[in-house]
Structure 1
């Protein structure tokens, strides 16, 4: 085997070309399924607050502002976790940090079930959020670096589609289990899936693209050889396609301390401004509204069971929403799909708010809610497909992590702002505020965004 200088690797002879030429088989799909399953469990833990916030608020006698602070607490953990995990994953590798993240959210969920006071519940939600914040950018990096460019956008969008599935699963679990085991029992039950970390450890390889960018060329070659053997086995021994040049770019291992600075140099500053603004305003609007959906329905006069049921029904539209976005990402492109999803979210968030504020017929409330969630989850699919494509391998997790972290700042502020604004403006004002946030995010993408559809990651790093 030809040896290379560990600091500089020619991509023409390296990992990217070998991975990109591989057909998509059940082996890569297995890796994707393992990551997506962990993502599903994570999403259930995050989404559960939408369905139990009303019960917690009633048990502790919380005001709207206090309930908003509780709902926001996990996002504080996510803000910290996403920023730290991205840098750790670019320094130590994707796989070990991904496994640690699962342990954090598992322990955090377990402790939430035993919280003696609302103060401790907030502390444990921060711990849980820290683990969730760690997991998201790393999962994105692993999938984007394993799946070939021609399939990458669709699979990243489908990965995010496990969020609405997890959200709906959390709602269904709450609907049936809340009367029997209460919100504490639900948090304890959601800690159990953290043992899935052992499945990740067994089946998910370290990203060979990351190994190569870190100068660990021999290990990268070994991992790619293993992937090639597994793919060939799935092809029942048929020869693999020949290796074609992906790019003549030079991938250099950069100093570890310089990773954050790299987000603002070499032409990446424009992309960083765009992604940070996009994530902040999109998540400010999204979490400001969805975290309160169940509680807002209760304040409109619906009992707890019915509010949970209607929230689940509304959330079902997220499934065709992310499927449509996954198709449109490859058929139309990242930028226009992102703008469409954000503007659609804005329009139907505003209409839903008007329906809720005027006590419109239930069919109108549910109808506008379905359309709102359709575009919400389409938006999520684009965010997660688009972001990791904008940075080179050496800083991909750092870039995705800080974008997610800035987004969690919006997540942190959103529910709290709603809690403070709701008594003064009512539901109409709350949803109008969310709509404005989505419009700002769409404008940022249109003005500053670049198109990445169908291009190898190495070409996008130019």
Structure 2
């Protein structure tokens, strides 16, 4: 045990951070400039990985009419590839997460980025829809793995006092990817064609070189590896014990992320259709509104992420969600373009403000020995549960018509407010582990095992019952 303490103390990246109950929040500029070279490069790599992952995903969404025309199919058939991508994301989160917990964060992340870059390039050469949908399924596996690996590596290497700010920035890589895809769409698709968007989208493979030579391995993972080696436990044994101890936490986080995902997709995915079909807006106005809204998302995610460092993860999420609910009428009811832009900006500000806290919150709630798998898998399972949100809203909007027209606006408001209320309630009754010292968690797990605080009972069938530390 003395050897473990010495090794992990020497490797602790959080030695300069606050502990013992202190809660002094530094200015964003000070936090941005206080990172060392390795921390900066690691965060940039994680942010770009998620940004370019989202960029590739939205390439399909924007290209649907053009792909449908070339393959001589209905757009509704082509959108099946989007559903397939979403369905395979949890598979990728599980596969790459387990690899990251077993072999470290860097090499699985490199393999992940290389895979989704290759699938993006290959999608641009797909000769027919059957090949295209297979490639998008494999892309979904890669997309599902990237978020968990990137956030785990970033949150483990950053000081605890900076997690809130960088969590908010990191999560908005998704909105940034959407913006980049929109810009490329207008610059390329009419002039070169939809396939060129996929070819250009394959350049994230260059990130593999950066990670290989400049991003260090997570010291937290190395501490876990050393602890397993010193205790004589195998990865499989430790994994079984962790699953038995933390299954309730896993279910809670999946439910939490399902609400988060439904709030995000439920407020956004059907909105362009609402603007076109019910308000009669042209494409240029819809595009302007989308850009302004995503700028609001990036600003909101960054600010609310940093505020969670001062007020706590739970209270900031709850306040952001409730304020988002307050802006729902301004998001839907006005006929004025100016008022709708205002409503969209602030709705995205607070919706993505709440989501900006998720990378830090999930990684802090994650069992230390499963941080490569837990955040990404719960996040992607939540996305899978909420993947039908736009379809549900569309069906209800077409059923409950107003004056013979679809009523998408009403269903967006009603369902979103219900989910926001549920999300605020789940957050309030859940745990918070802000500023958790990840290295110290490794020590505590090892000490608990050595002192037999984890109670193991042998039964006739040879199964093991482990005391749940969450209750």
TM-score scaled by length of structure 2: 0.79
* Aligned equivalents of 2:185, 2:90: Cα separation in 1: 26
- Residue in 2 aligned with 1:456? 437
- Pick closer, same or farther for the CA change 1:77–1:18 going to 2, 3 Å: closer
Equivalent residue, structure 2, for 1:235? none
Distance 1:457 1:13 in 2: 10
1:383 to 346, 358, 369: 358
Task: Give the gaps of 5 or more residues in structure 1.
Answer: 219-249
The question of 1:281 aligning with 2:293 is answered: no
Distance in 2 between residues matched to 1:367 and 1:98, nearest whole Å: 38
User: Is residue 175–residue 297 contact of structure 2 (8 Å, CA) maintained in 1?
Assistant: yes
User: How far apart in 1 are the matches of 2:80 and 2:323?
Assistant: 28
8 A contact 2:324–2:350 mirrored in 1: yes
Q: Quick one: distance in 1 between partners of 2:239 and 2:329?
A: 40
Residue matched to 2:306: 327
Partner of 2:113: 102
Tell me the equivalent position of 1:48. Answer: 59
Give the whole-Å Cα distance in 1 for the aligned partners of 2:101 and 2:391. Answer: 32
CA distance in 2 between counterparts of 1:253 and 1:210 reads 15
Q: Which residue of 2 aligns with 1:363?
A: 338
Residues 346, 117 of structure 1: alpha-carbon distance in 2 compared, 3 angstrom cutoff = farther
Q: CA deviation at 1:443?
A: 1.2
Q: What SS does structure 1 have at the residue aligned with 2:305?
A: helix
Match of 2:408 among 427, 437, 448: 427
2:180 partner SS: helix
The correspondence of residues 222-261 of structure 1 with structure 2, limited to 5 A, is 255-256=235-236, 259=239
Quick one: structure 1 residues 217 and 278, their matched pair in 2 at CA, closer, same or farther if it must change by over 3 Å? closer
Q: Which residue of 1 aligns with 2:457?
A: none
Taking a change above 3 Å as real, the CA distance of residues 18 and 50 of structure 1, as seen in their structure-2 partners, is: closer
Q: CA deviation at 1:364?
A: 2.3
Question: 1:180 is paired with a residue of what secondary structure?
Answer: coil
Maintained 8 Å contact 2:92/2:141 = yes
- Which runs of structure 2 are paired with 1:132-171 in the superposition (5 Å)? 132-171=143-182
Contact 1:389 1:460 (8 Å CA) reproduced: no
**1:61-116 C-alpha deviation (Å, 9 max, x unpaired):** 6366x465443222112121112221121112111110111122112222332334
- Go from structure 1 to structure 2 and tell me whether the alpha carbon gap of 1:54 and 1:446 turns closer, same or farther (over 3 Å shift): farther
The aligned length equals: 418
Query: Secondary structure at the residue paired with 1:21?
Result: coil
Q: Which structure 2 segments of 5+ residues have no match?
A: 18-33, 401-406, 445-471
**For 2:434, what is the secondary structure of its paired residue?**
coil
How far did 1:252 drift?
Answer: 8.7
Match of 1:131 among 132, 137, 142: 142
Q: Which has the higher contact order (CA 8 A, sep 6+)?
A: 1
| Cα distance in 2, alignment partners of residues 372 and 433 from structure 1 | 15
The Cα offsets for residues 41-75 of structure 1, whole Å up to 9 and x where unpaired, read as 112123334534455567756366x4654432221
Q: Does 1:336 align with 2:315?
A: yes
TM-score (norm: length of structure 1): 0.80
